[in-house]
Structures are given as C-alpha cells and as structure tokens.
Amino acid sequence: MKSMKETLHVPVLLQAAVAGLEVLPGSVVVDATLGGGGHTREILRRVSPGGSVIALDTDADALDHFRKAARSDEFLAKALAKRSLILVHKNYSLLGGVLEDEGIETVDAILADLGFSSDQIEDGERGFSFQKSGPLDMRLDQETELTAGTIVNTFSQGEIEKILREYGDESESRRIARAIVVAREKKPFVMTSELSEIIESAYPKGKRYRSVRPGSRQGSIHPATKTFQALRIAVNREFEHLEQFLSEAVKHLRPGGRLAVITFHSGEDRIVQQFFKKQIQGCICPPGFPLCRCGKKSILKILTKKPIAPDDQEVKDNPRSRSAKLRIAEKL
C-alpha cells in the first residue's frame, strides 16, 4: 500500500485553500473530503497544538489507504491515537449528524475539495476513468446500488441524454445516448473501454480531441471525458449532496468561521456560487417599506469576488488541477 509520500494524489490549491481558512492552533476544523489526505495533514499541522480535525470520506478505500499510510507518519499516527484527528466514513452531506455524534455544535472552519483523488482515478477497478479499463462501476460508496453500468444498460435514451447534458455539459448528448442504446442491444456494456470506444465512434470527427478553448492552456479533451464525468455525478448524486452539505456547513460554522470549497466542474461551481450569493442577501421586503418585516439577515460574507484558480506552475505540475476553482466565505 502506498505511503503518504508514495500516494499518486497531489492536493490541489493546497496553500491557497488552507491559508484562506485562517485557522490557528487550537482551532476545530472539518475536512469534509479526506481524499488523499494532503489538505487534512496541512490543516492539522496549522491547528496543532491543541486543535483537532474531523475528516470525512464516503469512500472506505480512501480512509483505509490513509490509515495505513499514517502508520509510517509519526505526526499523523500520534494525532489519530490522541483523537486530535478523527476519521469518519460518511458522506459530507451528513456533516450535521457527524458533528452531533462527536458532541460538537460549531467549528472554526470547513474545507471541501470536490475533486477525485488520483488514487481513485488510477484504480481501474473503480471504473472512474476511460483511460483505465475496468468495470463500469463509478461508486464512491460501495454500499450504494446504482452503478454506471446500470445507467448505460437500463436507462432510456432520453434519461441518458438528460444526464449527459445536465451533468456533463455534453453538446453531443443526444448522439452519444443514441449510440449507447443501439450498442447495448447487441451486447450489454461491462467495461469502461467498451463505453469509451462507442462514445468516440459516435462523436463527429471534426470535434474529436478538440481544444477546450482556442488558445487555452487546458489543451484538448478526449470525447469520453464529459460522459464519464456526467455518469460519475449521477451515480454518486454529487450535486444533491453538495447542496445539502453547504446548508449543513453554514449551520455548524461559528461566527467568523470560514468555509472553503474547491470545485472542478461548472455545475458544482455554479451551485456554490449561487448558494453563497443567496446567503449574503439581507432584507427582501419590497422597496419603500419603512421597517423590515421579513427579518432576513445576511449569513455569509464572500471573501473571493472571483474564484481562485491554480497558477500556471501548478497546472504544469498537476494537469488535473486545471479546472479547479476555490471559493471562500465567512460566517457573519
């Protein structure tokens, strides 16, 4: 098993995200998405001595990898033994219940990194990547039932098209959905490589491996990229869980506490942006009312007018960071 140093995962926007939380020794912080553990370790370093970190992950494998790696890391091993680092196998949307179980009402800061770790992507058996042949699974939590295979083999053409369009921003959603339905009549999809081949063949030749944006540093993308992304989001109910998490996070932040969210998808970023904007809105009484009757007050102050993105060097060192956006807000 990989050690902390051997893990394939490189935490994205590590310094910007952790610095943006402005945590101090003694702070109580939630890392809502443990992943490879890079953010968790840096936060724990900054809140020590006297502070603690509660780290959640819906992926049992990620927790197991981290625990095993921590055995050879004296700092982490001590933190786990003293329970200044608490690991919890729960989806981050269940944050409120997790804190209640720990007897904690409010925390000083919360971080959520919505990206998938490289360890997950590179594990072909998980089925997340079209670049690694494996079963069409894509479940983060193996205790859930819905898989990518179930979607492509049993959902209607219209349902598949909707998933690709709404969750993947896929312009060729109809063409791809039709190709999937036609292909599965001959043979059900089993492996990621089979699906990737059908998607590529369905794509107009002139649009295959197109640039994300002319002149963009992001280069070109594989025709299957957006479809795999959309299926993963659908399987794991990622947008639904994100909305629930944001509500829970604001409830359990102390006044002055900060919430930082790193997104990798336009849909995720839109949810975070709209949530933050809604929380900064105060009185909604009609203009001209002499006194406020609605009682609505601003809950958050947005600290990032524009999302923070990785610089050119980080993108060069870690190409998977290229679509990352960091937004930070403070509870009033």
Domains of the chain: 14-119+239-331 (3.40.50.150), 125-235 (1.10.150.170)
Residue of 104, 107, 108, 99 whose CA lies nearest to 22: 108
**Burial class (CB within 10 angstroms; exposed 0-12, middle 13-18, buried 19+) of 117:** buried
Q: What is the per-residue pLDDT for 285?
A: 83
Evaluate whether 300 touches 331 at the Cβ level (below 8 Å): yes
Q: What is the per-residue pLDDT for 279?
A: 96
Q: What is the per-residue pLDDT for 206?
A: 72
Distance CA 313, CA 321 (A): 10
Evaluate whether 198 touches 230 at the Cβ level (below 8 Å): no
Structure-token match 């997950």, residue found: 120
Q: What is the per-residue pLDDT for 208?
A: 67
Distance CA 167, CA 176 (A): 14
DSSP letter, residue 285:
S
Phi, psi of 6, rounded to the nearest 5 degrees = -90, -10
* Residues β-bridged to residue 111: 31, 260
Residue of 3, 250, 17 whose CA lies nearest to 113: 17
Distance CA 282, CA 71 (A): 49
Residues 6+ away with beta carbon under 8 Å from 212: 218, 219, 220, 221
DSSP letter, residue 204:
-
Distance CA 57, CA 22 (A): 23
Q: What is the per-residue pLDDT for 213?
A: 47
Q: What is the per-residue pLDDT for 154?
A: 98
Sheet bearing 85-88, strands edge to edge: 85-88, 52-56, 28-31, 107-113, 253-263, 325-331, 300-302
* Residues β-bridged to residue 326: 262, 308
| pLDDT in 10s for each residue of the chain, 332 residues | 344 445 556 789 999 999 999 999 999 999 999 999 999 999 999 999 999 999 999 999 999 999 999 999 999 999 999 999 999 999 999 999 999 999 999 999 999 999 876 555 565 567 677 777 899 999 988 889 999 999 999 999 999 999 999 999 999 999 999 999 999 999 999 999 999 999 999 998 877 655 444 444 445 678 998 999 999 999 999 999 999 999 999 999 999 999 999 999 899 999 999 999 999 988 878 887 778 878 788 999 999 999 999 999 999 988 888 899 999 999 99
What's this model's pTM, rounded to 2 decimal places? 0.88
